[in-house]
Every structure is written in C-alpha cells, then in structure tokens.
Amino acid sequence: MTEDMLTVIIPVYCTPKELFRDCMRSILSNHFSNLEVIVVDDGSGEEYQEFLRSYISDSRVRLFFNSHRGPSAARNTGIQAAQGKWVAFADSDDYVCMDTLSRILRDISCFTGDVILFGGGRDNNGAIRTNTTFLKEQYNYGEKMEDKLLIMGSALSAGILPRGYYQSFTYGSPCSKLFNRNFLIENDLLFDEEVKFAEDVLLLMQVYLYAEEIYYYNWYFYTYVNNPQSSTVKYRPGVSDDMKVFFRKMETFLSVNSLDGKLEKPFYVRAEIEAMRCRRMEYMHPDNSDPDRKRRYNAFIREEPFRTALKKHYLYGKRIIPRIRRYLLFHNLYFIYDFSRKIYHMGDRKK
C-alpha cells in the first residue's frame, strides 16, 4: 500500500462513450503521479472493452474485466486491487471537480480518519445545482452515536432527512468520499453482491457504524449527471424483487445493531420512496406490457415495509394532497392518481 496514493475505482458497463470520456478526463487531467485509477468493466462486450483499453496508455490506469456480476462485484474488485491508502469511487457517467481532485492529491498525506465526506452537485443538461448539508467542518462525526445516526438517517432516507437540505446524491452513495482502505479491509466492509439495488446504502450504513473518525470538508468534489440511460431511471423489470432483498437485509442490519427504533423514520421514508420508484421503473413503466401490472403493483404495496410506509406519512408529513394520492393507490384508482400526480408536480415546477 502506498501511503500518499489515492485510488479511484470506476465500475463501467456499456456507459455512453462520451460520458465515460468526460468522467476519465475529469480525473486524469492533472499531473499528479500519486493517483491510481482502477476501471472495472462488468462484461460490456469486446468492442467496448477495446475502447476501454485505449486508456491504459496512461500508466496510472489499471483495467480489470469481470463477467456481468453487477456494480457491487466491480467495486469489490477495485477495493481488493487498490494500492492507495485512500479509495474513492466514481460512477462512469459522472465527473469530478478537477481542481478539488488536484487539491486532494496535493494534500493527501494530511488526511486522517476512516471516512472523509465532500460536497458536490447535480448536472442537469449543463445546469448545476449544488448540494447543501447539515455537516460542519473540523468535527469528528464518528465519536458520538447521535452524530452517526444523523448521517445514517440521511443516508437511509435518500437525503430527505434532516429536512431543509438539498442532496442530489446522498451520504448513502460511495461517491464524493474518501475511504481509508485499511479500515475497509480490516472490518470486512465490502459491497454485498446479493443486493442489486441500493447496495451502496447498505454498505455505507455499516461504514458509518464502524467508523471512529468521520470528517466533512466543504469542498465541491463530485457532480452527478442526469443520464436518461442510467440504471436508476430506465425500465427495470424485477426491480421490486431487488428492493425486497435490500429491505430484508436493511431490517436485519438495523435489528442486529439495535437501530430499528432509532432509525424507524428514515427507514419508512426510504420504503415509500422505493415503492414509488418501483411503480415508475417497473409496474407502470410505458415499456411494461403486462395486462396484470396494476393488480401486481397493488399487491406489492401491500407487502411490508411498503404498506406501513404508506400509512405512516413520514415522507410528506400531514400534507393533504400526498395523503389523498396514497388513498388512490390503495384503492386502485390509477387514472385519478396519475392525473393528480401531474397536477402536483406542475405546482412544484412553478415554485
């Protein structure tokens, strides 16, 4: 392991080439030699792999090829192969701030701790919106459980909690962070390859629980790009089954560590968010031609934890319109629900 080296791990699977080029350009456009970039291809195919091989002309780039086992396996390959003391992750369709990366590489020997968090934002067709945070600099969030719970609650709730802050990607994402590789390896903190959706949240919850030193730097580091071909927005048959696996594992994690009561609200906020995501990405997606899809979705939201989440009203609180929309869902009134959803979001866009 090299003490002053940073390893950036990038899983890739058929990412549009122009987005991948932007990602790599943002990372490699510096003169620092204490940078290692591990690109792990998840079975993209020979033509795409040949495109990736063009990057190994830069001696800082290492290329690995996995069979199609998913991003968790790809990231684990990177962690196990990393030579740097510090590990960072980037998605292949996003990009980093070159100035901040250079600053990190220049000062990396000064960093201490288990996990370091940074700021960032979202790129929506060139319009950048910056994250806001409840965290403060020069404070160790790993010393007290109440501080850890604040970050864990934000990670689990997809940034909804605590309210009043904008998070385009959250503390449940591995991106825009540095991880001490020894800390990960010694605590056996790897991505669960059985979890196919929100697997990063499950790992980050474990990371925050085990970490003794967690620091935040108010540096803009990472930009999430709205990609219409991303796996988080396109039609994804079976995503509801993947969600069930995630929530089953998360329930076990919370229960074993006596956190279920302390993180009940963010848990059910996340369950409601994902119930709506499953509706968009699977059951009611335009590419789903299943004539029985409405009945199947209605059965899905009656399963736990989605049923309780939709009854708890944690996500929207006492706001009347979301309560009415939940009622419409439970009573199969989909036409009225879809119409009300359009009206509701039109109002949001005008604000």
Per-residue pLDDT at 229:
64
Asked if the structure places residue 109 within a domain, the reply is yes
Is residue 247 domain-shared with residue 306, that is, in the same domain?
Answer: yes
Asked if the structure places residue 231 within a domain, the reply is no
Final residue before a domain boundary, out of 159, 190, 225: 225
For residues 17 and 93, give the distance between their C-alpha atoms in angstroms, rounded to a whole number. 9
> For the segment 101-160, what is each residue's pLDDT rounded down to a tens digit?
999 999 999 999 999 999 999 999 899 999 999 999 999 999 999 999 999 999 999 999
Is residue 183 domain-shared with residue 271, that is, in the same domain?
Answer: no
Q: How many CA atoms lie within 13 A of 117 on its CB side?
A: 28
Per-residue pLDDT at 197:
92
The partner residues of 115 in beta bridges, in order of sequence, read 179, 214
Per-residue pLDDT at 341:
56
**Of the candidate ranges 85-89, 166-170, 244-248, 251-255, the one whose mean pLDDT is the lowest:** 166-170
Final residue before a domain boundary, out of 166, 201, 225: 225
Handedness of CA 92, 97, 102, 105 (dihedral sign): negative
Q: Average pLDDT for residues 344-350, to the nearest whole number?
A: 45
Is residue 248 domain-shared with residue 163, that is, in the same domain?
Answer: no
Asked if the structure places residue 234 within a domain, the reply is no
- What mean pLDDT value characterizes the chain? 92
Is residue 71 domain-shared with residue 38, that is, in the same domain?
Answer: yes
Asked if the structure places residue 337 within a domain, the reply is yes
Asked if the structure places residue 220 within a domain, the reply is yes
Is residue 35 domain-shared with residue 99, that is, in the same domain?
Answer: yes
Asked if the structure places residue 184 within a domain, the reply is yes
Percent residues over pLDDT 90 in the chain: 81
For residues 288 and 302, give the distance between their C-alpha atoms in angstroms, rounded to a whole number. 21
Per-residue pLDDT at 92:
97
Asked if the model's pLDDT at residue 318 lies above 70, the reply is no
Select the more confidently predicted residue: 20 or 333: 20
Largest CA distance in the chain: 61
Asked if the structure places residue 232 within a domain, the reply is no
- φ, ψ for residue 94 (rounded to 5)? -110, 180
Per-residue pLDDT at 311:
86
Asked if the structure places residue 314 within a domain, the reply is yes
Residue-by-residue DSSP string for 104-172: HHHHGGG--SSEEEEEEEEEETTEEEE---S--SS--TTS-HHHHHHHHHHHHTTT-SSTT---SS-TT
CATH of the domain at 94: 3.90.550.10
Is residue 214 domain-shared with residue 293, that is, in the same domain?
Answer: no
Is residue 245 domain-shared with residue 220, that is, in the same domain?
Answer: no
Is residue 21 domain-shared with residue 139, that is, in the same domain?
Answer: yes
Percent residues over pLDDT 70 in the chain: 89
The DSSP H or E segment spanning 222 is strand 214-225
Select the more confidently predicted residue: 340 or 328: 328
**Of the candidate ranges 11-25, 38-52, 246-260, 310-324, the one whose mean pLDDT is the lowest:** 310-324
Asked if the model's pLDDT at residue 317 lies above 60, the reply is yes
> For the segment 190-205, what is each residue's pLDDT rounded down to a tens digit?
999 999 999 999 999 9
Per-residue pLDDT at 346:
46
> For the segment 85-98, what is each residue's pLDDT rounded down to a tens digit?
999 999 999 999 99
Is residue 178 domain-shared with residue 50, that is, in the same domain?
Answer: yes
Is residue 22 domain-shared with residue 167, that is, in the same domain?
Answer: yes
> For the segment 332-346, what is each residue's pLDDT rounded down to a tens digit?
666 566 665 555 544
**Domain containing 165: what range?**
2-225
Per-residue pLDDT at 226:
86
At 3, the pLDDT band (50, 70, 90 cuts) reads confident
Is residue 75 domain-shared with residue 211, that is, in the same domain?
Answer: yes
Final residue before a domain boundary, out of 168, 191, 225: 225
Domain count, the chain: 2
On whether the CB atoms of residues 42 and 231 are closer than 8 A, the answer is no
Q: Average pLDDT for residues 227-243, to the nearest whole number?
A: 81
For residues 129 and 168, give the distance between their C-alpha atoms in angstroms, rounded to a whole number. 8
Indicate the residue type of 158.
A
Q: Average pLDDT for residues 272-293, to the nearest whole number?
A: 93
Per-residue pLDDT at 313:
82
Is residue 212 domain-shared with residue 173, that is, in the same domain?
Answer: yes
At 348, the pLDDT band (50, 70, 90 cuts) reads very low
